[in-house]
Amino acid sequence: MAIPVAVQGPSLAKPSAGTRGVTSPAGFFSQERTAERPAQQPGHVCPQNQTLSGHPNQVRGNEDCLSLNIYASHTAQNLPVMIWLHGGSFETGAGSDYDPSPLAREQHVIVVTINYRLGALGFLALPTLTQGGSAGNYGLLDQQLALQWVRDNIAAFGGDAHNITVFGESAGGMSICDQLVMPGAQGLFDKAIIESGPCTSAGVTVSRQEAFNQSAAAIKTLGCDPNDVACLRQLPAEKLALTRPPKSGTVPFAPLYGDPTLPQAPAQALTTAQALKVPLLIGSNLDEARVFAAFIVKPERDLNLWEYLGGSYLLNKGHLLASLFHYTAAAYGTRTLALAAASTDQAFACPTSDLARSRSHAVPVYAYEFRDRSVPVRASPTPGLPSLGAFHSVEIPFVLGTSNELVNLDAFTPQQLDLGRTMRAYWANFARTGDPNGAGLAVWNPLNADGSGVQELRPERIGPVTDFRSFHQCDAIWK
């Protein structure tokens, strides 16, 4: 039976034998913490804006949030370790939002979920807050602290400290790209799995100066001069969690590069010998952007022509004419579906494929596309979106083995349940050996140099496809 062990306290200190709790010799805020504490429940989530969850101007969480949760067997030893980095645009989410116990139990692996600071509290970057030449990227440094803790202590929970795989989705996947090129992550993990983390897309990391500019603009909205450190430190955490730069995209406070913590943009660094040479499993979903398209207009109607043209311009400025010609309502059924398809290809599918091809010259790469368009969801169809299809994050219940707010495993068909077991086996085999293949599984070959050989994952078929780049217009439009 897998059990969660919440290693609480920002120090992430060594486990206490017998109680499976922790002993914390030094707290993050400098006060001494020497007593054992219960660790059977998850710790606090990090402060975060609840607007995207339907609760505008509300904050959940507590600053004492740097905890992790371990799902482990009672008796086994030297098990592969899988560390989950959650998504949420670097603004929302927590390790305790996910239950990977089926993955741990079925596949005999240790699974760890972690927290890291979010939003302004995790990524605010200002010259006045620079220490040791570094500014911002606190959330990424939190991830490294958790990775180091796992390296140092996971043997006490039955894990193999020399066989650690990081895996994550969306911002969690983007975080892995960052960690692959961060000097401080050297030696902290051995393999990586990136799910729907388009880490080379525009805006998911920003230059140091751009981060300074965005952070200064955000701080001014709170009534502080960005150079007034005393004012900054008096701001309540709740106000910081709610703030966004006046002009912000899907990642309001993005990690920055050009800094000692992340010297080079991942889009460039991942093509060089500087990136960590660890085996990579990477992929995306067939209809990533449909779930985002659901929020563009009122659900009772499709996009009108002007909304479609405006959205196309914002998304596809450099490829506008070609995208308008290809992504049409006639071809996709509705304007909303057409715009979602363009966004899927431009922001997710093609950047993922480009990165996979690039890394395949240096390390073994196994690429996939999740293509099940019939997943039962707790959402109603609309005129513009008759189906969410294989949308962003829909693969997570298949990988972890548990339902979430949008996907209901109780309504899965037997074939979908089988697909989930297969995906968990692939992911765990990769964590064990760097190769997802195993007895009883469809063969999954490494990616070819031309980007072909992507493994299709759907209930009706599991196997390689050669049309990924042509289907998503990667060479015709999104070069």
Active-site annotation holds for 319: no
Consecutive H or E run containing 207 = strand 206-207
Q: How many CB atoms lie within 10 A of CB 314?
A: 11
Tell me the CA distances in angstroms from 48 to 59, 93, 94, 96, one per residue in order.
5, 8, 10, 14
The CA distance from 149 to 169, in Å, is 21
- Report how many helices (DSSP H) and strands (DSSP E) the chain contains, helices first: 17, 17
The sheet that has 15-16: what strands, in order across it? 15-16, 21-23, 36-37
Q: Report long-range pairs for 104-108 (Cβ below 8 Å, ≥24 apart).
A: 104/2, 104/71, 104/72, 104/73, 105/1, 105/2, 105/73, 106/401, 106/421, 106/424, 106/425, 106/428, 107/424, 107/425, 107/427, 107/428, 108/73, 108/76, 108/79, 108/428
Choice among 170, 215, 312, 353 that is catalytic: 170
Residue 77 dihedral angles phi and psi, to the nearest 5°: -125, 160
Catalytic (active site) residue 288: yes
Q: Please report, to the nearest 10 degrees, the dihedral formed by the alpha carbons of residues 234, 236, 242, 245 taken in order.
A: 0
Residues 6+ apart with CB under 8 A from 283: 194, 195, 196, 352, 367, 368, 369, 370, 454, 455, 457
Give me the amino acid identity at 49: N
333 sits in the region (left: phi over 0; alpha: psi -120 to 50; else beta) called left
Q: 44, 86, 392, 472: which one is catalytic?
A: 392
* 392 annotated active-site: yes
Q: Residue 4 corresponds to which tokens in the numbers above? A: 């969660």
CA distance 476 to 474: 6
Which residues, listed in sequence order, are joined to residue 7 by a DSSP beta bridge? 68
Give the span between the Cα atoms of 390 and 220, in whole angstroms: 40
- Of the residues 288, 369, 395, 456, only one is catalytic, namely 288
H-state helical runs in 9-62: none
**Which residues are tagged catalytic?**
170, 288, 392
